Amino acid sequence: MTAGKFLFPLTILIFSLSGYGQAGHNIHITLKPYKNSLIYLAYYYGKLKAVADSVTLDDNSKGVFAGKEKLPGGIYMVVSPKKEILFEVLIDSQQSFSVAVDTLNISKTLTFVNSPENKVFQTYTSFATNDGKQITDLQGQLPQAKSKSDSTAIFEKMKKLNQDVQDYRDSIINKYPGSLLAVLFATMKEPVVPPADRQPGGKYDTGFVYRYYKSHYWDGVTFTDNRIVRTPILEPKLERYFRDLVPHIPDSINKEVDWMLLYSRTAKELYKYLLVHFVQKYVNPEYMGEDAVFVHLFNKFINTGQAEFFTEKYRKFLNDRAYSMMANLIGEPAANLEMVDSLKKPTPLYGVSAAFTVVCFWDPTCSHCKVEVPKLDSIYEVKWKAEGVKIYGVMVDGGKDNWERFIQGHHLGDWINVYETKEQHDAVEAAGKPGYKQLYDVYQTPTLFLLDKDKRIIAKQLDFLQFDKIITLKLNKAKSN
């Protein structure tokens, strides 16, 4: 399917791979012109690649990938001494076979003995490659098309070639049901939306197209088959589904991850892969508020003993992150901050009365804060102050003297400037309560939170320009109501 540079060794730190079974593997290989060279058998794990076995070839370019444990089914790669992927091999239940090739002309010399599935794969690859070359040639003809009818004819030819490849895949699915190749082609298959005249009302309906495509996206994909983990196919399909078809709303995402994880529990490697994928995706989410998905995963799967494959170190990391996130989810009340001002006068967050409160955790010695805090103050003075916004500025580090000099030097007197005394900090620790850094997930500065009049979290960990857009939208909405 693909070839290229292979990067390794790969160490997966977040979980330990379990044993593969006891049937063993015995793959004889002749790889010309390499002699007395170390070559590798590698596998896919989503987007990652890792070494499964290695062997040093003899004077006759021969070697054997062998072991007492059976390899998990999937797409494997034969990798050169220079760490380049030479070609791919299907490995399934039949793990005693031979492969020979001259790497100077792989497509014409690659042969398999006692591996029927690889022979079928090889024939398909040749067919698909030939069609691909024809499609590329047709694409090159498009700029030279003299009329719309010429362009249409070229597109029709390309459509026919693509359909031929899909028909070939369908024939393999029907002829070899349950085979690894059938599973791969079923996973790759795209939903075919009915034409416009067969849609509701007999015309094109964008809502129907979306619903149909989404509801049929996973047709043919078996979430109880571990083999799809060790392919480069599943992860891009998974990412596209959550990027383009699932609303970026925690409740919607939670429903999707739940059915996938619950459905795959009998396929341990697939379940493990999916849970790791979702945890990594949402522990540091791309979209604000999606950290609630990670909290959901933690509560439902990790904290209930359904993730025993995580290392102790990674489990502690997830535990710490989950309890930090739980305290500051979008829509929830912000934790109160019992701080004091420069004169040590108690100035709690919940004592601030404002339509909107921006909580800014910053450090006067932080280089990023030195740039961003004055910008934040500028938009506050020019715009936010008149809109009923107040800034509750919390000194995180940097020392009280530096903090006071920065406030005076940059004229931040209109802010509510506060910090936590050593006595307050010690009292929180002695009581076994979480500190404000954990409650607000403050791992870097500046960190910003936007609260409404009731101190519920509207937005967090965005920049001041994004906050400004949110405030404007909220104010416009209030005016229209």
DSSP 147-176: SHHHHHHHHHHHHHHHHHHHHHHHHHHHHS
pLDDT given at position 17 = 39
Average of pLDDT values for 39-62? Answer: 96
pLDDT given at position 21 = 41
- In a domain, residue 344? The reply is no
> Is residue 105 domain-shared with residue 127, that is, in the same domain?
no
Average of pLDDT values for 153-181? Answer: 94
Distances (CA, A) of 455 to 358, 378, 414, 420: 10, 23, 20, 20
Sheet holding 38-45, edge to edge: 48-56, 38-45, 74-79, 85-91
- 33: cis peptide before it, omega within 30°? yes
Does residue 4 have a pLDDT over 90?
Answer: no
365-384 tens-digit pLDDT: 999 999 999 999 999 999 99
pLDDT given at position 19 = 39
257-316 tens-digit pLDDT: 999 999 999 999 999 999 999 999 999 999 999 999 999 999 999 999 999 999 999 999
> Is residue 201 domain-shared with residue 305, that is, in the same domain?
yes
CATH number of the domain enclosing 428: 3.40.30.10
431 phi and psi angles, rounded to 5 deg: -85, -5
- In a domain, residue 143? The reply is yes
pLDDT given at position 226 = 96
Does residue 3 have a pLDDT over 70?
Answer: no
214-272 tens-digit pLDDT: 999 999 999 999 999 999 999 999 999 999 999 999 999 999 999 999 999 999 999 99
> Is residue 202 domain-shared with residue 295, that is, in the same domain?
yes
> Is residue 83 domain-shared with residue 40, that is, in the same domain?
yes
64-111 tens-digit pLDDT: 999 999 999 999 999 999 999 999 999 999 999 999 999 999 999 999
pLDDT band at 152 (very low <50, low <70, confident <90, very high): very high
Compute how many other C-beta atoms are within 10 angstroms of the C-beta atom of residue 87.
19
Average of pLDDT values for 175-193? Answer: 95
Q: Which domain holds residue 182?
A: 121-188
Distances (CA, A) of 216 to 236, 249, 280: 17, 21, 26
Are 418 and 392 spatial neighbours (Cβ–Cβ below 8 Å)? yes
- In a domain, residue 471? The reply is yes
> Is residue 284 domain-shared with residue 389, that is, in the same domain?
no
Domain boundary among 66, 82, 114: 114
Count of the separate structural domains present in the chain: 4
pLDDT given at position 20 = 39
Compute how many other C-beta atoms are within 10 angstroms of the C-beta atom of residue 178.
10
SS3 for 470?
Answer: helix
- In a domain, residue 331? The reply is no
Are 94 and 154 spatial neighbours (Cβ–Cβ below 8 Å)? no
pLDDT given at position 283 = 94
CATH number of the domain enclosing 84: 2.60.40.180
> Is residue 358 domain-shared with residue 260, that is, in the same domain?
no
Does residue 55 have a pLDDT over 90?
Answer: yes
- b/e map of 110-119 (b: 16 or more CB within 10 Å)? bebeebebbe
Average of pLDDT values for 405-411? Answer: 95
> Is residue 262 domain-shared with residue 315, that is, in the same domain?
yes
pLDDT given at position 8 = 42
Does residue 9 have a pLDDT over 90?
Answer: no
- In a domain, residue 82? The reply is yes
- In a domain, residue 409? The reply is yes
> Is residue 243 domain-shared with residue 263, that is, in the same domain?
yes
CA distance 182 to 174: 8
pLDDT band at 18 (very low <50, low <70, confident <90, very high): very low
Locate 170 and state its tokens. 């369908």
Average of pLDDT values for 383-400? Answer: 95
190-215 tens-digit pLDDT: 999 999 888 888 889 999 999 999 99
Residue with the two structure tokens 């020392």: 399
> Is residue 50 domain-shared with residue 33, that is, in the same domain?
yes
Average pLDDT, the chain: 92
Domain boundary among 59, 87, 114: 114
> Is residue 99 domain-shared with residue 30, that is, in the same domain?
yes
- In a domain, residue 7? The reply is no
> Is residue 318 domain-shared with residue 221, that is, in the same domain?
yes
CA distance 214 to 11: 35
Average of pLDDT values for 353-367? Answer: 96
> Is residue 296 domain-shared with residue 254, that is, in the same domain?
yes
- In a domain, residue 15? The reply is no
